[in-house]
Amino acid sequence: MQEMLMTLTKRSFAAGRLRNLIAAAAITLSASLFTSIISIGVGTMQSMTLMQQIQKLSRSDGDFRNMNKEQFETMRQADFIESAGLRMPVGFLTNASLHNTEFDILDEVQADLTFCMPSHGNVPEKADEIVASDMALRDLGVEPQVGAEVIIEFTAHGREYSIPMTVSGWYESLNDQLSVMWGASAFVHEHPDIFAYTYPDDFELAGTYWSDILADSPIRLQEKMNALACSLEGTPEHENPAYLHAVMNNVTHQTIDLKILVMGAAFILLFIFCGYLLIYNVFDIAVMQEIRRFGLYRTIGMSRRQVKKLMNRQTLWLSCAGIPLGLFIGFFIGKAALPDIMNTFSTEYQNITADVSPSPVIFLISAFLTALTIFLSTRKPVRIAADTPPIEAFRYTEGQSFKRTDRKSAAFSNISRLAWSNLGRSKRRSIFIILSLMLCVVLLNCVETAANSMDIEKQTAYMMRTDFAVVNAVSTNNQKGFSRRSEALSSQTIADISSEPGVTDGSPIYKNTADDVNVTYDFPHASNELTSDNLYLYNDLTFCSDDSGRVFGLGCDGRPLCNVYGMEETALARMDLREGETDAHKLYEKMEKKEGVLVGVNINRVDMSFLEIMDIAEIGEVITVYKNGTPVMELPVLAKAALNGDDMEIGYTCSGPNKVGGDGLFLYLPSDIWLELYDEPSIYKYSFNVDEEYQDDIAAFLDAYRKQTDTGIHYLSSRTARESAIANRKAIRFVGGLVSIIFGIAGILNLINTLITSILIRRHEFATMQSIGMTRRQLAKMMVLESLYYAAGACLSGLILSVILNLTLVRSILASMWQYTFQFTLLPALAVSLLLLLIAGIVPVLTLHFFHKGSIVEQLRAA
């Protein structure tokens, strides 16, 4: 007889079509919320990983290097390795000029793992066939084309080779600096002498076997790889002839940042909360509407368990419809929103296409979270339905009508008082509504205050001192930075730019590089604190750190290199001179006469004061300039300037100085003095202003120029600097706004639920009131008032709390961050309050319209 229960479940399910639609929609919505956020999360991670893999030029799980043939053959048989590529390094081409081209012999697995499968043409097969990147080919002087002939030159085993090759295929280089050119294994047979294995004797790489691998699982991979390396009689010691490199690819297997994890968890909790409210409310209202039916079920002997079963089964069906749909919709929403969201949060990833693949993990997690949310949110409504006192089936009869008559007559005279007296009916829910609406108001106001207080001008000013600045692309990359002579701007580029109409105040900025190791400086701090104890190598340069952790790049003679800039007076005049000679013109004149030097000091961005730890040279101190180990100048410190990003490198990047002079000193000299000191004039930046009407033209010119003429440059304008600051503000608004909107929706949903519940429960009461002369209008008025009391309470407390929080918490938090200048505002709170009040006014009218229909008699009967 269990079928009967099933029949009832089925048919009552089919009967409540609209209700089911709403419930399924709620489930779909929550499922799509989860799926989209998880798709975005996974997509961001995938894209970031891919970007880093491209930078590393490998998407493998790990790699082995420096093996001989036997070791390689044994290695590729290891049970944890799913596939292993083969790479036989030959060496860098010596006839390449700007682009570094490494010539290797690869198999297809290896080529695929290291992003060098040809996109045009075929993989090499014959001994004289190669595949190379477009950049490498152009560098060798041929257009990337299948069939093109190139001569490659390289050195192996101390012998120079020059071999003509044919291009069998090519690919677009993913890296400006480096790409791999590869040939077929036939090449090995053709030139066995190149591949003689001599590594243990002379560390010659040509002849060794390398391999990028894919493993069956990332768990304890490094341990397995180490064990394998040991079993091959290799050692992880660098200098040992038996050195066998076996390293897991830490880009493919990144440890997830705790901060991101916490943020993700917080968002998921928030969404669970949001979904909970949504689904809970829909089910709660459904149960409330059907309470008589459940009363009837209970009266004729349906047990709690049976009611629960009925409800749960219907929920299951709804889930079966809602979850897959939500997963589907959510995935595509996430996919569509991913690029925008990645752009909002960061400008770093613009180069790669952000995308997400429909991984089962996304769907499994989303489905699980949705199911969890549904379980959590239907538990109570189901319990309410199951616990329905059977007497609910008889609501119309005596008993119940006793209680209410008296109270009403006392309060009936005054509709607003009646509305007021209704508020307390469900204390917990009233508090919840007011709290969530209040949080919505407060949060929105705090976020808006923060976004408003974000000082765009301050940030722009920090990033840029001129309208435009042109640099080598490495300067705009946080991980690189200008550190080599080869990265200097060409004079042609500068001439082209300066001849553009509208360009004024142009000044090339010279900067010493890691190649200028023959010019060094001595100053009191350096001679007192630097010892040879804390030396280390970085970027082919020796660095030395003092006791406080300041680092200094050292030249040939062991003295600091410093970061030395040379510039025109127009450029110097723009700097923020703080101490000593603060008149830029006089200072420049003095410096021209070699009477001294300007020292720049890093600042505390919050209050723009000198950073004490970086303030290591006093006015009047003498700095001795050495060239090739002999002192050539003695320059006393004439003035000190506060540095911003533009003074050090550009924007927020100062990776270049870090790779040359390190933390000190920052010295600024007139151009001709600088040129006198340094052998090669390396210009790292050309900064200039542009007349207002030419701003767009110049931007367009530069965009075109760096695409067509000089692909190595990049530029920053005060406008793009401002835009990037504004993007930060947008990110704050986005996250904060989202959170507060969720609270707002939660509050409104609960308000709606409360009103509907109140209408359903009090149908009889309402009908009674109507029957004794309350008009529908008055009834609506009463409900509107009731709803407005909630909203007004929430808004009022929200406004008060906003003022308090703004002046205390928000203010103190913002004060600690340099990007912000606190500005008090209450407008967002007022605006959102107004909106909430408006909604609170409309909602009861709508709910009355939908849930309080029919004649008075019907209402009396049905209640």
Partner 1 sequence: MNIVTTHNLKKYFGKDAYLVKALDGIDLSIEKGKFTAITGASGSGKTTLLHTIGGLYEPTEGSVFVDGVNLASLTEEELTVFRRRKVGFIFQDYNLIPELTIEENILFPLALDDSRPDKAFFEKITTLLGLRKRLNDYPYMLSGGAQQCSAIARAFITRPSLILADEPTGSFDSKTSQNIAGLLKMTVETFHQTLILITHDPELAQLADRVIHLQNGRVENSFN
Instruction: Supply the minimum distance, in Å, between the C-beta of residue 11 and partner 1.
Output: 3
Which CB atom, from 74 or from 299, has the smaller least distance to partner 1?
299
Query: Who's near 565: CB < 8 A, 6+ residues apart?
Result: 509, 510, 511, 647, 666, 667, 668, 669, 674
Which CB atom, from 1 or from 537, has the smaller least distance to partner 1?
1
Distance CA 513, CA 839 (A): 63
Which CB atom, from 418 or from 446, has the smaller least distance to partner 1?
418
Which CB atom, from 76 or from 309, has the smaller least distance to partner 1?
309
Which CB atom, from 388 or from 422, has the smaller least distance to partner 1?
388
Which tokens in the block code for residue 541? Answer: 């340069």
Strand partners, 637: 597
Query: Who's near 425: CB < 8 A, 6+ residues apart?
Result: 758
Instruction: Supply the minimum distance, in Å, between the C-beta of residue 24 and partner 1.
Output: 19
Three-state DSSP class for residue 569: helix
Q: Which residues bind partner 1 (CB under 8 A)?
A: 1-5, 7-8, 11-12, 14-15, 293, 296, 298-304, 306, 389-391, 393-394, 397-399, 402-403, 406-407, 861
Instruction: Supply the minimum distance, in Å, between the C-beta of residue 6 and partner 1.
Output: 10
Instruction: Supply the minimum distance, in Å, between the C-beta of residue 14 and partner 1.
Output: 7
Which CB atom, from 328 or from 394, has the smaller least distance to partner 1?
394
- Scan for tokens 């291009």, then name that residue: 167
Using CA atoms, how far residue 448 sits from 63, 813, 833, in Å, is: 49, 14, 14
Which CB atom, from 297 or from 820, has the smaller least distance to partner 1?
297
Instruction: Supply the minimum distance, in Å, between the C-beta of residue 831 and partner 1.
Output: 46
Which tokens in the block code for residue 53? Answer: 């893999």
Instruction: Supply the minimum distance, in Å, between the C-beta of residue 412 and partner 1.
Output: 16
Strand partners, 600: 641, 666
DSSP string, 118-187: -SEE----STTEEEEEHHHHHHTT--S-TT-EEEEEEEETTEEEEEEEEEEEEE--S-SSEEEEEE-THH
Which tokens in the block code for residue 319? Answer: 């889930």
Instruction: Supply the minimum distance, in Å, between the C-beta of residue 12 and partner 1.
Output: 5
Which CB atom, from 431 or from 772, has the smaller least distance to partner 1?
772
Which CB atom, from 202 or from 398, has the smaller least distance to partner 1?
398
Distance CA 803, CA 825 (A): 9
Which CB atom, from 63 or from 392, has the smaller least distance to partner 1?
392
Instruction: Supply the minimum distance, in Å, between the C-beta of residue 296 and partner 1.
Output: 5
Which CB atom, from 266 or from 857, has the smaller least distance to partner 1?
857
Instruction: Supply the minimum distance, in Å, between the C-beta of residue 862 and partner 1.
Output: 10
Which CB atom, from 332 or from 394, has the smaller least distance to partner 1?
394
Cβ(46)–Cβ(353) below 8 Å: no
Which CB atom, from 586 or from 861, has the smaller least distance to partner 1?
861
Strand partners, 685: 471, 509
Instruction: Supply the minimum distance, in Å, between the C-beta of residue 410 and partner 1.
Output: 11
Instruction: Supply the minimum distance, in Å, between the C-beta of residue 308 and partner 1.
Output: 12
Which tokens in the block code for residue 559? Answer: 């003295």
Instruction: Supply the minimum distance, in Å, between the C-beta of residue 398 and partner 1.
Output: 5
DSSP string, 265-321: HHHHHHHHHHHHHHHHHHHHHHHHHTHHHHHHHHHTT--HHHHHHHHHHHHHHHHHH
Helices (H), 524-602: 524-529, 569-573, 584-592
Instruction: Supply the minimum distance, in Å, between the C-beta of residue 5 and partner 1.
Output: 6
Distance CA 428, CA 487 (A): 67
Distance CA 231, CA 75 (A): 9
From the list 745, 586, 759, 560, the residue with the least C-alpha distance to 666 is 560
**Side-chain-side CA neighbours of residue 833 (13 Å):** 20
State whether the Cα torsion 349-350-352-353 is positive or negative: positive
Instruction: Supply the minimum distance, in Å, between the C-beta of residue 444 and partner 1.
Output: 44
DSSP 8-state secondary structure symbol assigned to residue 806: I
Which CB atom, from 286 or from 514, has the smaller least distance to partner 1?
286
Instruction: Supply the minimum distance, in Å, between the C-beta of residue 386 and partner 1.
Output: 10
Instruction: Supply the minimum distance, in Å, between the C-beta of residue 313 and partner 1.
Output: 14
Cβ(707)–Cβ(397) below 8 Å: no
Which CB atom, from 5 or from 731, has the smaller least distance to partner 1?
5
Instruction: Supply the minimum distance, in Å, between the C-beta of residue 753 and partner 1.
Output: 25
Distance CA 678, CA 750 (A): 72
Helices (H), 63-139: 69-76, 108-113, 134-139
As a three-state string, the secondary structure of 500-540 is CCCEEEEEEEEECCCCCCCEEEECHHHHHHCCCCCEEEECC
Instruction: Supply the minimum distance, in Å, between the C-beta of residue 380 and partner 1.
Output: 18
Distance CA 289, CA 757 (A): 8
Which CB atom, from 394 or from 851, has the smaller least distance to partner 1?
394
Distance CA 23, CA 26 (A): 5
Cβ(663)–Cβ(453) below 8 Å: no
Three-state DSSP class for residue 724: helix
Distance CA 563, CA 97 (A): 27
Which CB atom, from 253 or from 304, has the smaller least distance to partner 1?
304
The helices-and-strands tally (H runs, E runs) of the chain is 30, 27
Which CB atom, from 291 or from 641, has the smaller least distance to partner 1?
291
